[in-house]
Structure 1
């Protein structure tokens, strides 16, 4: 099997994802770097502040066990049989100051496959706990992820390099510490897809095949299968989670809790004052509770922004346990995720969650708040003031609600949602989208093309003949009957027959006419409305069936699909008509196919 190297050389997208990014995620954005400033991977200088500033586990045996009084355990990756570099994301490499691997590729594969530790690296697995599906799970930790070290860039940005699937750690419990190609490709693709959508996220640097098999029971049904092993190198300013603080509070380790909080504020929240470092004692008379309270408010604000972004693009994380929540407000731990296809607030891509639907699309904002309450409980010894914690949680609610409303306004092409009938209009739309299985992404892209004032939304008139009234006049929406209006959205309907039943046609056209009347109240030029909507409504998202096709092709040694996907997903808001088939609704054959409709946590 020949799994060759994929090069992802990225052209500058027309839409800049930074338009929708929060300040923290700008640290993970592509920054132009002179090639003369880049160095080979083997020459990278590491500055490992996490290991340097925080207490580590004094026990060095790499065996599953309970760890106390530490934030991490030093452990090296377990070497693999035949590492092969499958993919390297050049913009992420440039962000880190690293040249693309030259020929031969063995050194890069050895390092990023866990077979070689470079000078300056100090590998470790992080300790954390978490609430999983609403229940305290105790110690969890990095059971298969191993951080190699941190890179400190000249502009002050700090990046942590972490190998996922790098072998057993003291936090592996009964697991093997490995990852399969299937889950690694999904994380690799989604990290970059989310970045270019403008959603705060970790990044991916590389994908390495291990040359070894990994046995997984994909759906926990008693049918384990051998799958190809892989390791993805993911990148973030930090992978510290809510659960990193929860475990310290649960185990009554207040001094370590304070040290970790002080470290995070100092390194990752520079806009806040630095808490006193004169003592590590929680009981010392240092007047810093207000700093911790402001820090908690900022965590709440970033989390609110994050979830609003998820909702904007129709992303469902699938497993929002507190150990999967970033303290920096980034999307982390891509597992059984998915994008809404048929619009349904109750939809979850996670088979483990199919019965309770705790982490379904419509619950994500509520679950994020629930998780923040768990974090508030863990940070209470530092803040002490219950009212301050309540204020932080209020910031979350205000941030999510305000941001989500602003994003909905953009998705609908409205200047704001301040009209007395706007809430009713949105509520009717959500009901309408769920009455007939309607693709969220395709519906909103079609909505961009509604000819409000006699012309389609885009100057190019991409609706073509579908924007004709009953007399064949282009774009005279006032003269279009119910069926002609519905034709504008045909490609978004999974059940076209039902969508074109008279009663449903009446409901859709009734809403569309009210929506058009609302747009006319704003009296915005068509180009301005189209621009606003095109920034909020992607054409291309990483549908599960597309990811599965890339995985299956790569398993056969065909890298063409993943290469194409990587390029298309870097321009998700552009038309890219030559790739239209990648923007279509999910094929019927994929409705119930494993990996295309729903997934488990097995990876």
Structure 2
């Protein structure tokens, strides 16, 4: 099995913990060296062929036992130098202090042909200094969900960390799934996730909270130089120290960086809202500095349209992270990041400008979403109100979000009828009660289409690209998990293949596009989930 070239910038350019190993401790540094804990019988369950090809591994190499050994945590490739990073975060609105990679271990930073970088990180690979009282492991059910959703989001066109592979460990892990005092032994697994960077808002919050401005500045400089090189004029490839000596990291450059982080975050959240994705636990330590979806825990997809829905049992009372609040929570998290970065600025104006850029970028992205989902060339001011009326009707009538928007492409502007939405309703009585209001909305929509320059074929193509037919509904993921826990990995592979083409019609796979069945409405894993994994 060949190895890509590794160049571990974070280890080289950020201060490390003088102690290695997994002993729990407070760490006054950016990272700690720690080895993955070997497992009994690593076995490949599934892999992303696209991600493997990008990293240079053939199907034969992936299926070899050496691959499972490496990505189960039992072996290393030349150049890998495993470490866990240190960060803090605000959890459910409260400062939590040091958190860190409690069960994630980065194997190294691979350099691809052409110079692109990808960090390879094992999730569930054992104890680190940041595991606190946990065991650093992950169960198969959560690992299947992370593996599938990482790839599903990528194929939906939403920025995300990726998943290379899913490896069963041959060991069990004890988890109390719903924190109800009934722990059970479950099969364990490790996911290898991949991203240009796993730096989070919390990486910057922790040194700022500790008053360690030197580490804060070094983190920002390394992040900008490695992950935002386009912010340097002329593609300057000078070493970090040379740039620092000549004063390249000015408040203006920090401001440009923060503004871009804000804009990327706005586009990310707008993508979630477009497809009905609910992250479930938007703490600041789960926010990527690159604007990627990161940490797939108790996530879910909206079934019947409900902006107040959260998939997270831990959030069931406060619903801080419910679907409709995600844009404002992201803004709140960016405000915490701005506060953390304030020692790098002479005044608050550039930070406020970045937060304003988030608001502007989100409005722009939301208007683009409206135009695309409704099949319009552009979004007029009245279209915003038109979309809001539709969403209110979908909520009141319990219309499936995915099926409802997908069916709109079948509306005949000459004879608009709510019959095209028939399969998207969860309640027949509510369908009948709201039929007049829906017919009135469809009449208004048809009038709007008559003023739009797109022809019928162009409208349908535009809507099909924005309104997926297939999303990773919780009950579909749970069915694949049930099969995997019984020893049948084929369900994971089949579902992965479905989500590779989320916007295409896939004859013979209509069952994967159906609305949530009634049995799944209250079943564990299909409706609400916990952070326990």
TM-score norm. by structure 1 comes to: 0.85
Would the aligned equivalents of 2:21 and 2:33 in 1 still touch at CA under 8 Å? no
Match of 1:295 in 2: 257
Match of 2:476 in 1: 546
The CA distance in 2 between the partners of 1:370 and 1:206, in whole Å, is: 33
Match among 63, 66, 71 for residue 23 of structure 2: 63
Distance 1:138 1:516, change over 3 A: same
The CA distance in 2 between the partners of 1:519 and 1:177, in whole Å, is: 54
Match of 2:410 in 1: 449
Match of 2:421 in 1: 489
User: Is residue 311 from structure 1 mapped to residue 273 from structure 2 by the alignment?
Assistant: yes
The CA distance in 2 between the partners of 1:263 and 1:106, in whole Å, is: 36
Match of 1:136 in 2: 95
Residue deviations 1:454-504, cap 9 Å, x none?
A: xxxxxxxxxxxxxxxxxxxxxxx16xxxxxx23211111011232123xx1
Match of 1:221 in 2: 180
Distance 1:287 1:180, change over 3 A: closer
User: Is residue 588 from structure 1 mapped to residue 528 from structure 2 by the alignment?
Assistant: no
Would the aligned equivalents of 1:85 and 1:105 in 2 still touch at CA under 8 Å? no
Would the aligned equivalents of 1:44 and 1:98 in 2 still touch at CA under 8 Å? no
Match among 51, 61, 68 for residue 109 of structure 1: 68
User: Is residue 50 from structure 1 mapped to residue 20 from structure 2 by the alignment?
Assistant: no
Q: SS of 2:109's equivalent?
A: strand
TM-superposed deviation, 1:156:
1.3
Larger Rg: 1
Distance 1:387 1:87, change over 3 A: same
User: Is residue 151 from structure 1 mapped to residue 149 from structure 2 by the alignment?
Assistant: no
Match among 348, 353, 359 for residue 321 of structure 2: 359
Residue deviations 1:97-124, cap 9 Å, x none?
A: 2223449732111110101122211100
TM-superposed deviation, 1:585:
0.2
Distance 1:331 1:104, change over 3 A: closer
Q: SS of 2:230's equivalent?
A: coil
The CA distance in 1 between the partners of 2:49 and 2:391, in whole Å, is: 40
Q: SS of 2:68's equivalent?
A: helix
Would the aligned equivalents of 1:258 and 1:280 in 2 still touch at CA under 8 Å? no
Residue deviations 1:380-420, cap 9 Å, x none?
A: 1112220100100011000111111111111011122215x
The CA distance in 1 between the partners of 2:248 and 2:475, in whole Å, is: 54
The CA distance in 1 between the partners of 2:62 and 2:144, in whole Å, is: 23
Q: SS of 1:211's equivalent?
A: strand
Greater alpha carbon shift after TM alignment, 286-295 vs 197-206: 286-295
Would the aligned equivalents of 2:370 and 2:383 in 1 still touch at CA under 8 Å? no
Q: SS of 1:522's equivalent?
A: coil
Would the aligned equivalents of 2:21 and 2:35 in 1 still touch at CA under 8 Å? no
User: Is residue 236 from structure 1 mapped to residue 195 from structure 2 by the alignment?
Assistant: yes
Residue deviations 1:141-176, cap 9 Å, x none?
A: 000000000111121100000000000000000000
The CA distance in 1 between the partners of 2:431 and 2:348, in whole Å, is: 51
More helix by share: 2
TM-score norm. by structure 2 comes to: 0.96
Distance 1:361 1:121, change over 3 A: same
Query: For residues 69-88 of structure 1, what are the structure 2 equivalents within 5 Å?
Result: 70-88=29-47
The CA distance in 2 between the partners of 1:159 and 1:339, in whole Å, is: 28
Match of 2:366 in 1: 404
Distance 1:73 1:409, change over 3 A: same
Query: For residues 93-104 of structure 1, what are the structure 2 equivalents within 5 Å?
Result: 93-102=52-61
**RMSD (CA atoms):** 1.6
